[in-house]
Amino acid sequence: MAGSLQNQRQQLLGIIEEEEQEKLQKQKEETEGNNNNNNNNKSDMAPTAGNSIHRSGSRPQLDVSKAEIQGNVEEKYPTILLPNQSDDLSHLALDIGGSLIKLVYFSRHEDQSWDDKRKRSMKEPLGLSNGNRRSFPILGGRLHFVKFETRKINECLDFIHSKQLHCGGLESHYSDGVTDQNGIIKATGGGAYKYADLFKERLGVSLDKEDEMDCLVAGANFLLKAIRHEAFTHMEGHKEFVQIEPNDLFPYLLVNIGSGVSMIKVDGDGKFERVSGTNVGGGTYWGLGRLLTKCKSFDELLELSQKGDNRTMDMLVGDIYGGLDYSKIGLSASTIASSFGKTISEKKELEEYRPEDISLSLLRMISYNIGQIAYLNALRFRLKRIFFGGFFIRGHAYTMDTISFAVHFWSNGEAQAMFLRHEGFLGALGAFMSYEKHGLDDLMVHQLVERFPMGAPYTGGKIHGPPLGDLNEKISWMEKFLQKGTEITAPVPMTPLAGTTGLGGFEVPLSKGSTLRSDASALNVGVLHLVPTLEVFPLLADPKLYDPNTIDLSDHSELEYWLTILSEHLPDLVDKAVASEGGTDDAKRRGDAFARAFSAHLARLMEEPSAYGKLGLANLLEMREECLREFQFVDAYRSIKQRENEASLAVLPDLLVELDSMDEESRLLTLIEGVLAANIFDWGSRACVDLYHKGTIIEIYRMSRNKMCRPWRVDDFDDFKERMLGTGDKKMPHHKRALLFVDNSGADIVLGMLPLARELLRRGTEVVLVANSLPALNDVTAMELPDIVAEAAKHCDILRRAAEAGGLLVDAMINTSDSSKENPSSVPLMVVENGCGSPCIDLRQVSSELAAAAKDADLIILEGMGRALHTNLNARFKRDALKLAMVKNQRLAEKLVKGNIYDCICKYEPAS
């Protein structure tokens, strides 16, 4: 029976796919014809200057209206269809400075057609039908950040040519290898003038030069408004991320430290004034350092400073006062009185001084002066926030500490020095956005997701930019790296020298040397994924105060514990991933590469927890899933989920009969107990994995049900029961729509959440099952739920009618109108994807269809450890919320609920 149904479904999907492809191809041909006519009409009217890849005379525009995921959502990077996107976009912008070339480029996905009839039928009850579609180029994609030394400009040109970025990254557009001689790339910096002829000669493109200050400010504003955890403070080796609301951003002082230093007062978008600057900057440090130490690169000079002792070079207050403080004016003995002043009285030649000491003294002198001048300008305009950018900083801990102490000292703590993770790419980002009406500057934080390339944790086999594109290339690179041993860029702790001295005018505490980085120039900046379909969950009580992470990993012992847990779980995960791909040699090779890559990420985070931004447990779990997808393990628990679903569906009819024999109050308690008991099946928990070896899924479920003893660790069931059933003669109105955030496959969804959904449907409440867009461990996905519901509906009229009304059944797809006539009063059971592929969920970034479904919802049920404990335990909502989970980690039990493993959480919170 099941096989026959599956065959019918496949045949139906095949027919639909052929029809859709024919329709899309026809629309595409019509559109291309119209576009060609339009281009011909415009060619005499508009100048070609300013065009990038776009062939018409009009400026390219980004139109994200009605954007949606297009293609199989279980793929590694599902494409995003922009049905109203008709213009092509430039994929490249440059900031060519005196020392470095900074490059920002955009990569997008090719269009892929897929069967979406079921998805449309699922969306129609929510009012999300797309109507007629047009086939246009897809935008949704990624922003990449790459840098090259300017003296190696030919490497940069080779990189651009290899990726065909000057052609929009689409080699198929230029099948004969002919480059568009009218192509234009936006660029800023002095090199945009100096190397214009070289770009024309090598790539056949012109550089459209943008004002440097305009670009710096536009890039900074974009990052500060759009990227969460972009800005941070750095004091005494401690990095703390700062989230600034866009409405509270202006005014601020932007200090860009390049070869020289520019100080810009920023009052708004496009509103700024260069108020000061200094010629003592990065070029000064590198120039003097090269003369004095013979270092061959800026990075070498920086690394040298980490081993230095400036007391051999700098004259201290104690040197002048016989080792004493000058307490009358608040100067300690270790305060620098004169940089390099001690060399005056010593009869030494340059060769007799250690290059390490020279480098450190020089770094302190320049960083201190920049910090002081910046504060004086901030004081002049009464600015409390100062952002420092530019490649002089390069994520170098001591540089940031020095600047921070200067600002803190001179302002008596009233002003704050802040730094940017994309510090060196401000100008390039601004140039990229100067393509008129890109729309990127209007994006909110939820539309950009930062991911980290597979190669981020390594130094061996140097990689420029994004992850290696070809899977075999990635694995081969991994294997070559492994031959090098453990050359991970996890910063090597540097032992602080005893008696580390202060800076001119104030004292610097001893440096926490463990934060000094051996890879100061690595700047592990992630790739920014642009997902126009993501929105903020509209039912958050206060999005500004919302933080999904319940566990704070800033405590090193806490971080070490969870990194160890993930590491110990890794071998089992690799086994499951390889088995999901048939256990082939290729799968084993990919599994090995995944394990080593993820282990290197964990090692990096152990050394530098803030390397990838503010770290929470949800971020760790998501990184693991991203690594799996990086090596093309689409669903590591596929076979396990199928087996558990079948076992649970086999006993569902008996459970439903048992529930129907109960009175309303007993049934509600049994349903909640069932959800809690079924939530024990979680392959992300080591304790639960051990249970699987002690019995079958049904035996474990029954054992868990039998142990359901109230009161639970958090027990708000009576409050929830009163809201659902009322008290005495007082009856409560039913909820209009409930959002059920589901968790695991198998017993969790089939024996726990589906019966609860059925009860809500019985009471007249619309139910929306919210599931992952992409697989994560054994979590059920939105693509899998309709088949599970269809099987469950064979044994239950309530589920069948609701599923038909919600467009979940294949039969309903054929004749939905007839079903709705038979059951006009049926409330729908619907499924939407949540927009993520992680065991946790960040409600600042959910799918647009979930956001739309939430607008009419008045009950939220978050189920599972990842969604209701790891994240969102403390979240507050505008509507009634019920959080259900079984605690399956002893440390989590102790930290969050002061309980024990297998304690139950039933937390009910009425609408805020």
| Whole-number pLDDT of residue 71 | 41
Strongest mean pLDDT among 58-62, 217-221, 434-438: 217-221
Which helix (H) or strand (E) segment is 285 a member of?
A: helix 282-293
Reduce the DSSP state of residue 7 to 3 states and report it: helix
Average pLDDT over residues 756-761: 98
Confidence tier at 75 by pLDDT (50, 70, 90): very low
Q: How far apart are CA 806 and CA 830, in angstroms?
A: 5
Whether the pLDDT of residue 480 is over 90: the answer is no
| Whole-number pLDDT of residue 616 | 87
Tell if the pTM clears 0.75, that is, is over it.
yes
Q: How far apart are CA 606 and CA 566, in angstroms?
A: 12
Q: Which two tokens stand for residue 374?
A: 């910046």
Whether the pLDDT of residue 493 is over 70: the answer is no
Confidence tier at 626 by pLDDT (50, 70, 90): confident
Domains of the chain: 61-109+138-167+181-212+431-436 (3.30.420.40), 215-430 (3.30.420.40), 650-809+824-907 (3.40.50.10880)
| Whole-number pLDDT of residue 655 | 92
Average pLDDT over residues 207-235: 91
Q: Where are the alpha helices (DSSP H) in 711-867?
A: 717-725, 747, 754-762, 785-793, 797-805, 810-814, 816-822, 848-854, 865
Q: Widest CA span of the chain, in angstroms?
A: 102
Average pLDDT over residues 117-132: 57
Whether the pLDDT of residue 265 is over 90: the answer is yes
| Range in 106-115, 469-478, 781-790 the model is least confident about | 106-115
Residues 80-106: pLDDT tens digits? 344 444 444 457 999 998 878 999 887
Q: How far apart are CA 831 and CA 820, in angstroms?
A: 18
| Range in 494-508, 781-795, 847-861 the model is least confident about | 494-508
Contact 688, 870 (CB under 8 A): no
For the chain, give the mean pLDDT. Answer: 77
Confidence tier at 238 by pLDDT (50, 70, 90): confident
Whether the pLDDT of residue 232 is over 50: the answer is yes
Whether the pLDDT of residue 342 is over 80: the answer is yes
Confidence tier at 691 by pLDDT (50, 70, 90): low
| Sheet bearing 448-451, strands edge to edge | 206-209, 184-188, 92-96, 100-108, 141-149, 527-530, 448-451
Q: Which two tokens stand for residue 359?
A: 């480098």
| Whole-number pLDDT of residue 511 | 31
Task: Indicate the residue type of 13.
Answer: L
| Whole-number pLDDT of residue 663 | 95
| Whole-number pLDDT of residue 695 | 55
Q: Which two tokens stand for residue 834?
A: 């949540």
Name the residue among 722, 585, 579 with its Cα closest to residue 664.
722
| Whole-number pLDDT of residue 489 | 31
Confidence tier at 615 by pLDDT (50, 70, 90): confident
Residues 379-415: pLDDT tens digits? 999 998 999 998 788 888 889 998 998 898 888 888 8
Reduce the DSSP state of residue 717 to 3 states and report it: helix
| Whole-number pLDDT of residue 427 | 92
| Whole-number pLDDT of residue 15 | 37
Whether the pLDDT of residue 203 is over 60: the answer is yes
Whether the pLDDT of residue 300 is over 60: the answer is yes
**Burial (CB count <10 Å: 0-12, 13-18, 19+), residue 31:** middle
Contact 904, 710 (CB under 8 A): no
| Whole-number pLDDT of residue 522 | 43
Contact 442, 246 (CB under 8 A): no
Whether the pLDDT of residue 230 is over 60: the answer is yes
| Whole-number pLDDT of residue 638 | 92
Position with higher pLDDT, 467 vs 876 = 876
Confidence tier at 32 by pLDDT (50, 70, 90): very low
| Whole-number pLDDT of residue 671 | 96
Using alpha carbons only, give the angle 743, 745, 746 rounded to the nearest 5 degrees: 130
Position with higher pLDDT, 725 vs 487 = 725
Residues 326-339: pLDDT tens digits? 676 667 777 788 99
Whether the pLDDT of residue 49 is over 60: the answer is no
Q: How far apart are CA 631 and CA 624, in angstroms?
A: 11
Express as a percent the part of the chain with pLDDT over 90. 43
Contact 150, 259 (CB under 8 A): no
| Whole-number pLDDT of residue 234 | 93
Reduce the DSSP state of residue 72 to 3 states and report it: coil
**Cα pseudo-dihedral 540, 543, 545, 548, rounded to 10:** 70
| Whole-number pLDDT of residue 347 | 86
Average pLDDT over residues 51-55: 26
| Range in 178-187, 282-291, 505-514, 842-851 the model is least confident about | 505-514
Name the residue among 908, 757, 774 with its Cα closest to residue 834.
774
Residues 277-299: pLDDT tens digits? 999 999 999 999 999 998 988 88
Contact 101, 175 (CB under 8 A): no
Query: Tokens 């920002």 label which residue?
Result: 104
Residues 634-675: pLDDT tens digits? 999 998 899 889 989 999 999 999 999 999 999 999 999 999
| Whole-number pLDDT of residue 331 | 72
Whether the pLDDT of residue 52 is over 50: the answer is no
Q: Which two tokens stand for residue 201?
A: 């000669």
| Whole-number pLDDT of residue 690 | 56
Dihedral (CA of 895, 898, 899, 902) sign: negative
Q: How far, CA to CA in Å, does 634 sit from each of 248, 624, 626, 785? A: 41, 12, 10, 17
Position with higher pLDDT, 891 vs 499 = 891
| Whole-number pLDDT of residue 542 | 94
